[in-house]
Structure 1
Amino acid sequence: MMHQELIKKAKTVLGEFQLAEQGLTAGSVSCALMTNAGTIYTGICLDLACGTGFCAEHAAIAEMLKARETVIDYIVAVSSKRILMPCGRCRELMMQVSKENLKTRVIVDDTSYRVLSDLLPHHWM
């Protein structure tokens, strides 16, 4: 049930929209995460020029950190077409926020997940 709940929550903030100029957008990917305290946070991506944008996972994690929470139980990112795996930068961010996040369950489809430690097997820290 957690999978469907988080996927649904992520989709509530999904929806690409135009920013300052053509090609600069936000919202084409969204994310929902649930902390070990049971709180759910969401975020959207920013697709900007010069590498100044960021992933939806970063936005959701920033929301979580504002509440002074650091441990993620589940996380999912979605586009209009599918569930997305977190990129290397997002995986690294989760690890640097809390080493307990090696246990984070990354939702990969409607019914299954991978543990972050499987996606980041030989961490440098």
Structure 2
Amino acid sequence: MKMQELYKIAKETLNPRKISRNGEAGHVASALLTESGNVYTGVAITVPCSIGFCAEHSAIAAMVTAGESKIVKIVAVYEDGSILPPCGRCREFISQINDDNDNCGILLPDHVIRTLGELLPDRWDYKWN
């Protein structure tokens, strides 16, 4: 699957809406492709007190629930269709879900693709000999 197809799936997953007095959901969507060829999607949920989560977290939770953990490609899309790079929390989360996820491709603005390892160099948990 090409990254553009994954972008289209993420864009179609967008569904911005107010879900409670203080909460919103669906203004960012993510789609990821696993090594077995499955696609999982998720949306961001924003609530006060920093207890919401990013769209990447949502898509990863769906993937893990289905029994998978290795991500081949991932993209996040804002409600206006722009591509969002994963925040630092998401980068770290992706890396800790599967040791091989450092090799996953991430779609960045301007349709540049980088690996997680390129975006998250000098990992804190690598043991140096």
Whether the TM-score (by the shorter chain) exceeds 0.5 is yes
The corresponding residue for 1:69 is 68
The corresponding residue for 1:55 is 54
Give the whole-Å Cα distance in 1 for the aligned partners of 2:57 and 2:111: 24
Give the whole-Å Cα distance in 2 for the aligned partners of 1:80 and 1:53: 17
The corresponding residue for 2:36 is 37
Give the whole-Å Cα distance in 1 for the aligned partners of 2:76 and 2:41: 10
User: Structure 1 regions of 5+ residues with no counterpart?
Assistant: none
Total equivalences in the alignment = 124
Percent of counterpart pairs with the same letter? 44
Give the whole-Å Cα distance in 2 for the aligned partners of 1:7 and 1:63: 18
Offset, 1:11: 1.1
Give the whole-Å Cα distance in 2 for the aligned partners of 1:49 and 1:55: 14
Offset, 1:20: 1.3
Kindly indicate whether the alpha-carbon contact (under 8 Å) linking 2:43 and 2:54 is maintained by their aligned counterparts in 1: yes
Give the whole-Å Cα distance in 2 for the aligned partners of 1:109 and 1:52: 27
Tell me which amino acid in the other structure corresponds to 2:50.
G
Kindly indicate whether the alpha-carbon contact (under 8 Å) linking 2:85 and 2:109 is maintained by their aligned counterparts in 1: no
Q: Residue by residue, what CA displacement relative to the aligned partner does 1:69-111 show, whole Å, maximum 9, x if unpaired?
A: 1100000000123000000000000111111000010011464
Alignment RMSD: 1.3
User: Structure 2 regions of 5+ residues with no counterpart?
Assistant: none
Query: Aligned runs of 1:1-125 on 2, under 5 Å?
Result: 2-21=2-21, 23-81=22-80, 82-109=82-109, 111-125=111-125
